[in-house]
Every structure is written in structure tokens, then in C-alpha cells.
């Protein structure tokens, strides 16, 4: 059995990446594993939206923006789906797995 060695970029004391520019998909897989989440197409839909939003605005999207985006796929059940995908919360899991800094003082949806 081989061991995978991952060179983690700097993370803060809560486990969030310090510089979202250092994110890559391998890091998402690692952070998801730590959170005991198996990434599905639904997770990647959220992660890619968050990464695109970050690239455009240089800030993590508020959960409300993600829910609005997901409404196109999941309709009225978008909020429920987001929290099904990330059961311990948008900030705790989605932001961490998508390589965002820990958001401060805004709505989690």
C-alpha cells in the first residue's frame, strides 16, 4: 500500500487555508476526507461556484449566493441540498473544502 504525501499550504489554527490562491482540487479531496465527506458531483458544483465567485470578487461567497446558484439545479430544495451536502455547515465544511479563508461575521444561509 502506498502513502500519499500532500504538501499542504499554510493553514490557520482552525484548519482553513491561509491563501485561497494556493487551492487546488487535491486539497479539496484532502479537506473533504478530514471532514468525512466523499465528494460527489453536487459537492463539486458548489466548490466550483465558490471558486469562480472567489476569483471574480476575491472573497468567499455568502451562503445565500450559493443557494441562489443551486436553485437553478435543485429548485426550491437548494438550501436543504446545500446542508445535505455539507451537514456540519457551510462555513465549517463548504468553505474549508473549497479553499476559502474562514469567513467572519456573515450569514450561513
Q: Per-residue confidence of the chain (109 residues) as pLDDT tens digits?
A: 555 567 889 999 988 999 999 999 999 999 999 999 999 999 999 999 999 999 999 999 999 999 999 999 999 999 999 999 999 999 999 999 999 998 875 544 4
Q: Domains in the chain: how many in total?
A: 1
Question: Residue 1 has what pLDDT?
Answer: 55
- The three state secondary structure string of the chain is CCCCCCCCCCECCCCCECCHHHCCHHHHHHHHHHCCCCCCHHHHHHHHHHHHHHHHHCCCCCHHHHHHHHHHHHHHHHHHHHHHHCCCCHHHHHHHHCCCCCCCCCCCC
Domain range for 59 is: 20-97
Question: Residue 12 has what pLDDT?
Answer: 92
Q: Quick check: is 31 in a domain?
A: yes
Question: Residue 102 has what pLDDT?
Answer: 85
Q: Quick check: is 105 in a domain?
A: no
Cα–Cα distance between 51 and 60 in angstroms, integer?
8
Q: Quick check: is 60 in a domain?
A: yes
Q: Quick check: is 80 in a domain?
A: yes
Q: Quick check: is 108 in a domain?
A: no
Question: Residue 107 has what pLDDT?
Answer: 46
Q: Quick check: is 46 in a domain?
A: yes
pTM of the model: 0.88
Q: What is the CATH number of the domain that holds 46?
A: 1.10.10
Amino acid at each position: 500500500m502506498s502513502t500519499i504525501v500532500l504538501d499542504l499550504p499554510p493553514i490557520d489554527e482552525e484548519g482553513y487555508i491561509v491563501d485561497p490562491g494556493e487551492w487546488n482540487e487535491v486539497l479539496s479531496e484532502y479537506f473533504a476526507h478530514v471532514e468525512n465527506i466523499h465528494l460527489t458531483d453536487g459537492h463539486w458544483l458548489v466548490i466550483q461556484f465558490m471558486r469562480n465567485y472567489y476569483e471574480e470578487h476575491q472573497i468567499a461567497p455568502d451562503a445565500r449566493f450559493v443557494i441562489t446558484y443551486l436553485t437553478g439545479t435543485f429548485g426550491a430544495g437548494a438550501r436543504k441540498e446545500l446542508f445535505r451536502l455539507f451537514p456540519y455547515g457551510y462555513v465549517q465544511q463548504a468553505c474549508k473544502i473549497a479553499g476559502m479563508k474562514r469567513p467572519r461575521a456573515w450569514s450561513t444561509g
